[in-house]
A and B are shown apart, each in its own frame.
Chain A
């Protein structure tokens, strides 16, 4: 009791002093600046870019900030509750194990699964690798064929390529111009030795939602395991493994306001799906993923899933309204703006736009106060246009000028308005300099121009 009184007193005093400090001077309470990060007079300078403050963040598909409620759930497991959840002989282990099991139920509840069907991994990439390579290796004697789509995430495509080198055959289904697969084409690609169908739920670059229930129904009819990468869908749209008849599903923590470095794999028990582990060791997570389960991260993922369940409706309404505001704001000021991917079947928090007659890199560099990306973070270092947009049949010039605006739980109206203002300003500036735009304004069809050979 005395201890409790003491701590509460201490907390009161601390809060008071730090809030006083804050009103007096922010710098006094501040931590040291990050290396390579120069604080200049009234602004930040990094990599030669000078900005007045932190850029407004509109890249929620790359990663999302950690929700303070999630962090609050995680912190005790970084302090006194540090036990290994696999220790069976003392309280430290028991409390960690209990927390991990609670998280497992929280994750399972969000996707309508049983907690026994959830395996914690390091992220969606690992879950995808276990699903694709692990499953095909397990059934390699009978099943030699995989069906996936051209717009999958790199980790699924690369796992497939790896299997191809081992002698498996892979069909990369093309997508329609709206980014959605053709179900008849899918049905005709199925062979008797097809061992896996892998189609992502929500695309990370263009945000289109694939017809999961229909694909699931076809897979159930023909008894083929169906894997889906739901990293971008979890907590954003309704995910139900029973309705969608999913056999394996990859989930990620850091896309739903949870910590980085944790993910989960849903793996169906009835009918049982078996995989060959990618990592061997102590046999944790039913031998599918050996290695000590990171309790704080897993607790964070569980808390994030529980929050997502509570907040999905509230967040969804808000994100839809913000997306409308952004799209209308840009469209009313600029012509030649194209939304990439289906308009109707998409997740609203992902708005992928192409701006005609503008050079993409210049646009991104000009938008230094807005943290956006041209596509996925994994490929943002290359100047090549996105393979996802190319699969949609988007013209080279339009694929080069795509920008993905990611809206999330913490995005504000003021940020959207600022993003509209800056984007419009930048696009207009670049078009003013562009001879192409001038020619279009004069009524010349630039598609018919015979450029000099080079």
Chain B
């Protein structure tokens, strides 16, 4: 628990950001993939101004648990991939 309370380093935060984005890109579902990417970027942008130590570390641990959720869900998405999972919007891109 002690590690959660100490301020995460800049490198650790950036690494979490990159891991979240990398995981988000693996979602097979178009809408969920786009949402995960967007939400990650917006979430980090929104928390950029945080200076309070406890707020920073709580946001950091929140992000870490979101990463765990995303990793598990990417896994299910792959395992249960539908043949016709491509959305019409994806074809044009």
Contact = CB atoms under 8 A, between A and B. Distances in A.
Given A72-B72, A314-B42, A54 B32 contact: no
B84 A56 contact: no
A314 B46 CA distance: 10
A258 to B, nearest CB: 15
Contacts of B40: none
Nearest to B84: A44
Interface stretch (A91-99, A143-151, A408-416): A408-416
Interface stretch (B3-11, B13-21, B85-93): B85-93
Contacts of A19: 26, 78
Max chain A Cβ within 10 angstroms of own Cβ: one of B26, B27, B79, B86: B86
Interface residues of B, number: 37
Nearest to B80: A31
A384 to B, nearest CB: 30
Given A53-B88, A418-B89, A18 B79 contact: yes
A414 B32 CA distance: 14
A29 B86 CA distance: 14
Nearest to A14: B75
Nearest to B27: A68
B88 A30 contact: no
B78 A22 contact: yes
A2 interface: no
A65 interface: yes
Nearest to B75: A15
Given A30-B83, A53-B87, A54-B86, A72 B69 contact: yes
Interface of A: 11, 14-15, 18-19, 22, 26-27, 29-34, 37, 39, 44, 51-57, 65, 68-69, 71-72, 75, 314, 369, 409-412, 414-415, 418
8 contacts: A19-B78, A39-B84, A54-B85, A65-B31, A68-B32, A409-B35, A410-B34, A418-B89
Interface of B: 26-28, 30-32, 34-36, 39, 42, 66, 69-93
Given A71-B76, A410-B32, 12 more contacts: A32-B83, A33-B84, A39-B84, A51-B88, A52-B88, A54-B84, A55-B88, A68-B77, A75-B76, A314-B42, A415-B31, A418-B92
